Structure 1
Amino acid sequence: MLPGAGADRGAADYAIVGAPLDASTSFRPGARFGPDRIRKFGQQFDDYDHRTDQHFTDCSVYDHGDIGPTADVAEYLTYLQGTLSDFSSDRAVPLVVGGEHTVSVAGVRALAPDVFVCLDAHLDLRESYAGDEYSHATVTNHALSVADEAVVLGARTGSEAEWDRASEADVTVVPPEDVADWSPAFDDERVYLSVDIDAADPGFAPGTGTPEPFGLDPREMHDVVRAVAPQAVGFDVVEVNDRDDGQAATLAAKLLRAFVFAHADQR
């Protein structure tokens, strides 16, 4: 259990769901260890947040534990979607802890946002990768089958076809050098916020499957999470693996807590 996430399920305002899927990792596997590592390296933080004058233990967070993957990824995503839909119906904001980025597909399908906002080094706009329609490289493409718009912050790589797709009106790409100046301009849209930890420069978060240089610093990611959180109906942090000394998991745990504090402050 993530420290401070001791609320009863029926009374929770937020529900952490671990999703240790590690099926399509194309370079360095280990995303299956992400949920455990994020909980482990989240043990060190103070309960109190001075920015919002709140305690994490008072934010009514419930930790559901992990939903282990099955051999059939499509079947697993359907089951995960059902669990997240149940929490949303009970007025608890789902907080998904991955696992590879594919688990975001279940979150988007469960919550049906108007806008998919993602911190990510990669565009993830492929229709398939290596013959796999549920590859971690297809997440934004799947999200656009539900959401009206996608905003990808920190993207710095993709195939030629992905960059062509990103030029269309329903996709906004904010390059790393412009993220610090970006601010959300949503009205009453429902927003889903996804954090792929590889949006960070690998010098800050080396423990991820497909590290990409020239990325974001943790402060920029923190600012985005806090800015988007008040309008978000769901959140995930994904692609943390066990290939470092805890840097990626520490950042992921801190960003999850930042989301809760900023969202609860406006709730």
Structure 2
Amino acid sequence: MTTTLDQPSGSVAPTVPPSRGLRACWIVGFGSLALAFPVYTYLVFGSNANREAMANTMAIQATLGYFLGIFAAYLPLPSLRTWTRYERLQATVLPFVICSYITHLTWELGWLILHKPIAGAQDSAWAYAWWNYIDGGDTRYLNPDPHFLMIEVLSVINGCVGLTGLVLLKRSRFTDVRGTLLVMSTAVTHTVLTWYYYGSEIIGGFPSANTSSFIDFGVKFILLNSPWLIAPWFVLTWGYLTLKRQLGRR
């Protein structure tokens, strides 16, 4: 029997079905990420909170926020019981790519443009959005080498490519094959760049990761980056099935 997920001629909806529970998970997951920077900036500069403790707390919060926001569609929520596997897949892919592209074109692009002033602004509130990450032990953002700078450049380009794909999909109500292909291409780049990061750290003896600390190694190095190894495969699967549906309608 052919399942709903496997039907090439199924419709491609530009949105996912309404779900109050899923919306709540997105608000909690991604909302906590959006509020984190102003809240932790206030705690550090307004309440003199310990910077290392705040960096560790934010790393844990960000990890939980990413996993909840991205993979919430696979939770056993009552409002999702009638959803097809394709709808759950799309409700995972869209939050992931939107979150990724926003990060590429704000936090990473801002660091690329301002990384030299940021390095000398440890005690300035405006730079804390990046210094929180540096306080957490990732010195690549403090003293970047050309290889790391190029990784960030490619991430920003990836965000531009993906945003273009989303715009094409939005304008065509998810019928434009070009948009699907562009979004799929960013999943490949996400996987390659993340594996390059993991691989270069492993081969180099973990120069930017404290392997003796569970927070530094287990949370910041492994878990915080792992959505960009896991979710791209969801994107590629979604793209393949979406292309079958888009091409099947012609």
**TM-score relative to the length of structure 2:** 0.30
**TM-score relative to the length of structure 1:** 0.28
Greater C-alpha Rg: 2
Q: Normalized per residue, which structure has more strand?
A: 1
Greater RCO between the two (CA within 8 Å, min separation 6)? 2
Q: Normalized per residue, which structure has more helix?
A: 2
